[in-house]
Structure 1
Amino acid sequence: MNEIDTSRTDTGEDAEPGGHNNASSSMYSRKSAAHFKDRLGELEMENARLHRLVAELLIKNQQLRRPD
C-alpha cells in the first residue's frame, strides 16, 4: 500500500534558499493515469474503513459513558 519512489533522490542542488525546489519535473509527472486511478481507489477504500472505525469507536464511547 505504501510506495517509496527510490528512483529520485533530492540532493538539494536544485533547491532555492528557503527549501523550495526548482526542478521542472515532479515525481508525480512520471506516474501513469492508471496508477493514479488505482491509488485513488485504494485511498477511497481506506477512507471508508477509517469512517467505519470512527463510527464504531463513537458507539463504544457512548456505551462506556452511559450510566448503569
Structure 2
Amino acid sequence: PTTARYVLHAFGASGGWRPGNFTESLISLIARADHDNAARLATIYPAEAAAVRIAKYDENGIATLQALAAGKQVAA
C-alpha cells in the first residue's frame, strides 16, 4: 500500500502520500524513463516500477492504485 500511495502522489491523485526526497525522485525518474532505462530500474526497484507502469499504462491504473493504497484486494 505504501508504494501505491507514493505513486498516487507523484501523479497528483487523491489518496497519495508524499514520500521522502529519494523515493520521490526515484518515482519521477521511472515515470520519465524510456523503455530500456525503465526496465533497468525495474530490476532494482520492481515495486516502484510496477506501480508507475500501472499508473501510466493501465486504463484504470489510478483507481487500481487507490484500491491498493486502501488495502483492498485487486484482481490481477
| TM-score, length of structure 2 as denominator length | 0.24
Structure having the higher helix fraction is 2
The higher-RCO structure (CA 8 Å, 6+ apart) is 2
TM-score by length of 1: 0.26
Q: Give the greater-gyration-radius structure (CA).
A: 1
